[in-house]
């Protein structure tokens, strides 16, 4: 597998972005958004941060198709966990 050299500039940029994300998380945690927005805001920040880590720190962006397939299958399994769990939560009120 060919090794992609990532420049320090990219690493530091991502690091700063993650730090900003962390600060945003803390700030959002102290706000009281209307309705379900509290969870949505927190999860959106978390997903963006996780995506940055996976793409740059874990080098998935520079990796082969195989790695993408492996990563996608993990996400698919996470989808199964969410789908069937929410299948319970969202239908509890139906009866």
Partner 1 sequence: MKAPETFETPAAERVNYINAQYGLKSWLLTKDHKRIGLLYLGSISFFFLIGGLYAMFIRLELLTPQGDFLSSATYNKVFTQHGIIMIFFFLIPSIPATLGNFLVPLMIGAKDLAFPRINLLSWYIYLLGGIITIYALLAGGIDTGWTFYVPYSTTFSNSYVIATGAGIFISGFSSILTGLNFIVTIHTMRAPGMTWFRMPLFIWAHYATSLIMILGTPVIAITILLLAFERLAHVGIFDPANGGDPVLFQHLFWFYSHPAVYIMVLPGMGIISELIANFSRKNIFGYSFVAFSSLAIAVFGFLVWGHHLFVASQSVYAGMIFSFLSFAVAIPSAIKVFNWTATLYKGSISYDTPMLYALGFIGLFTIGGMTGLFLAALAVDVHLSDTYFVVAHFHYIMVGGTLLAYLGGLHYWWPKITGRMYPEGWGRFSALTVFVGFNLTFLPQFIAGYMGMPRRYHAYPPEFQVFNVLSSAGASILGVGLLIPLIYLIWSMRYGKRAEANPWHLPGLEWRTPSPPPTENFLVTPVVTWEAYEFAPPEELRVIGMFREDEGLENADAVIDGKPT
| Rounded Cα–Cα distance for residues 74 and 59 (Å) | 16
Half-sphere exposure of 76 toward its Cβ, with a 13 Å CA cutoff? 6
94 touching partner 1, by CB under 8 A: yes
C-beta neighbour count of 75 within 10 angstroms: 9
> For partner 1, what does the binding mask look like between residues 54 and 93, x meaning CB under 8 A?
-------------------xx--x--xx--xx-xxxxxx-
Q: At closest approach, how far in Å is the CB of 80 from partner 1?
A: 6
| Rounded Cα–Cα distance for residues 7 and 10 (Å) | 6
Output 8 or 66, the one with its CB closest to partner 1.
66
Footprint on this chain of partner 1 (rule: CB under 8 A): 73-74, 77, 80-81, 84-85, 87-92, 94-95
């Amino acid at each position: 597998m060919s090794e992609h050299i990532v420049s320090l500039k990219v690493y530091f940029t991502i690091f700063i972005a993650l730090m900003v994300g962390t600060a945003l998380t803390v700030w959002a945690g102290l706000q009281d958004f209307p309705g379900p927005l509290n969870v949505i805001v927190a999860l959106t920040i978390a997903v963006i941060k996780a995506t940055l880590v996976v793409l740059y720190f874990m080098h998935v962006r520079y990796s082969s198709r195989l790695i993408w397939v492996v990563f996608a299958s993990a996400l698919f399994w996470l989808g199964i966990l969410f789908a069937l769990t929410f299948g319970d939560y969202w239908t509890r009120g139906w009866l």
